Amino acid sequence: MSAEKTRTTHDPKAWPSLPLEAWEPTCDTLHLWTQIVGKTRLALAPMQNHWWQVTLYVTARGLSTSPVPYDDRTFEIEFDFVDHRLAVRTSDGRQEFLPLEPQTVAQFYRRYLDTLRSLGVPARILHPKPNEVQNPVRFDADRMHASYDAGATQRFWGALVQADRLLKEFRGRFIGKCSPVHFFWGSFDMACTRFNGRPAPPHPGGIPNLPDWATREAYSHECISAGWWPGNGGGPVREPAFYAYAYPEPAGCPQAEIRPAEASYHPVLREWILPYEAVRRSPSPDALVLDFLESTYETAARLGVWDRAALESKGPRTWPVR
Tell me: the pLDDT tens digits for 197-232? 999 999 999 999 999 999 999 999 999 999 999 999
- In percent, the amount of the chain with pLDDT more than 90 equals 90
The residue extents of the domains of the chain are 20-141, 161-311
183 close to 229: Cβ distance less than 8 angstroms: no
Report d(CA 121, CA 106) in Å as an integer.
20
Give the count of alpha carbons within 13 A of 67, CB side only.
Answer: 9
Q: How much is the pLDDT for 5?
A: 46
Phi, psi of 265 (to 5 degrees): -95, 130
Categorise residue 85: left if φ over 0, alpha if ψ from -120 to 50, beta otherwise: beta
Q: Which residues pair with 63 in a beta bridge?
A: 58, 79
Q: What integer best gives the mean pLDDT of the chain?
A: 94
217 close to 207: Cβ distance less than 8 angstroms: no
Q: How much is the pLDDT for 181?
A: 98
Q: How confident is the model at residue 2 (pLDDT cuts 50, 70, 90)?
A: very low
Q: How much is the pLDDT for 6?
A: 41
Report d(CA 41, CA 125) in Å as an integer.
10
**Has residue 321 got a pLDDT over 80?**
no
**Has residue 266 got a pLDDT over 90?**
yes
247 close to 200: Cβ distance less than 8 angstroms: yes
Can you tell me the mean pLDDT for 73-90?
98
Q: How much is the pLDDT for 317?
A: 56
Among residues 243, 269, 247, 248, the alpha carbon closest in space to that of 258 is found at 243
**Which of 9-13, 76-80, 86-90, 277-281 has the lowest average pLDDT?**
9-13
**Has residue 163 got a pLDDT over 90?**
yes
Q: How much is the pLDDT for 122?
A: 82
Q: How confident is the model at residue 322 (pLDDT cuts 50, 70, 90)?
A: low
Can you tell me the mean pLDDT for 25-32?
98
Q: How much is the pLDDT for 4?
A: 39
Can you tell me the mean pLDDT for 67-79?
95
Q: How much is the pLDDT for 269?
A: 94
Grouping H, G, I as helix, E, B as strand and the rest as coil, residue 255 is coil
173 close to 212: Cβ distance less than 8 angstroms: no
Q: How confident is the model at residue 314 (pLDDT cuts 50, 70, 90)?
A: confident
Q: What is the DSSP letter of 7?
A: P
158 close to 164: Cβ distance less than 8 angstroms: no
Q: How confident is the model at residue 318 (pLDDT cuts 50, 70, 90)?
A: low
Can you tell me the mean pLDDT for 96-104?
98
Q: How much is the pLDDT for 305?
A: 98
Report d(CA 279, CA 116) in Å as an integer.
40
B/e letters for 137-163, b = 16+ CB within 10 Å, e = fewer, are: bebeebeebbbbbeebbebbbbbbbbb
Q: How confident is the model at residue 66 (pLDDT cuts 50, 70, 90)?
A: very high
- In percent, the amount of the chain with pLDDT more than 70 equals 94
**Which of 31-40, 161-170, 232-241 has the lowest average pLDDT?**
232-241
Can you tell me the mean pLDDT for 231-245?
93
Q: How much is the pLDDT for 11?
A: 77
Sequence-ordered list of residues with C-beta below 8 angstroms from that of 77, at least 6 positions apart, any chain: 37, 40, 41, 64, 65, 68, 86, 87, 88
Distance of CA 228 to the CA centre of its chain: 7
Q: How much is the pLDDT for 1?
A: 33
Q: Which residues pair with 266 in a beta bridge?
A: 271
Question: C-alpha distances in angstroms, 214 versus 49, 56, 186, 199, 205?
Answer: 11, 18, 12, 16, 9
The dihedral of CA 51, 76, 101, 84: what is its sign? positive
